[in-house]
Amino acid sequence: MTELLENESSSGAKIGEAVQSDPALTARILKLINSAYYGLQNPVTSISQAVTLLGRQQLKQVLVGSVLAGVFKDFDITAFPLRDFWQHCIKTAIIGRQLGMQNARVIDHEVFFTAGLLHDIGRLVIAKVNPGSYGQILGLARAENREVIEVEVEKLGVTHIEVGVALLEKWGIPGLITQCVKKHHDADHIGSFEIETSIVYLANKLSRFDLSGDAEDEERAITDFLSKIPNWEKAKCTAEQITIACRLAEEQWLEVMESLGMVDLDIDDSLDETFLFNTDLEKL
């Protein structure tokens, strides 16, 4: 499947045939294309039509979601808040994609969904290896009102950012996405990916924003929230666009998470081993 998606000469029919060979993946794709995330007026029941509407980039996202949910499904959820983790990542992904769509300087807005989905993957790697210790790190950061990366360095000698970047580089994930992951905690963004990394940085912050109250209260709340985010303007988005993105994320995150198989984490073990990118978590 991954080879077909990377090969630009692969036809939609060939990709559709490959998808249909995996019932779990077929169900996931149809569920996603018919979700509120796409807002289609008529339901899609044909996998070939779904493949055409989704396109290669979105199909890659579904594959990434399946891979992540499958690789990281065996967790001690009492020690690591896995559902909350996926909620945060999905919201970041939706907000990032929406902000990218509203930015005239951005050509490929779908990349922000993948970057948002993967931005905290280093936390999963650490928690997979030792969920108990990472649960303590999260608790300490919350109790002492400290940055998680500061506590990570203190307790582990490495941050989830460094671990995540190492994993993505091992997987051969494109440099743009890796840079977005690398800089999602940085307030300063310069260089060739300035806009892109700024958007993911902002989306990561906004995923924690709580939408509540009437329209007037909402507008005032988002303005106040943005005032506490250094350099949020670098994402080149207006407060109105940001409000729309946050609202969509609030409305759609659960349905998208279900579509990607991240709610019950009941992933089909028959998924091709190549989807796992030969991951060796213990050696990272």
52-56, 72-76, 144-148, 205-209: range with lowest mean pLDDT = 72-76
pLDDT of residue 82: 79
Task: Domain ranges for the chain, please list them.
Answer: 56-283
pLDDT tens, position by position, 226-283: 999 999 999 989 988 999 999 999 998 988 887 776 765 433 333 233 222 233 333 3
Which superfamily is assigned to 56-283 in CATH? Hypothetical protein af1432 (1.10.3210.10)
Query: Where is mean pLDDT largest: 14-18, 93-97, 211-215, 269-273?
Result: 93-97
Q: Using CA atoms, how far apart are residues 1 and 164, in angstroms rounded to an integer?
A: 24
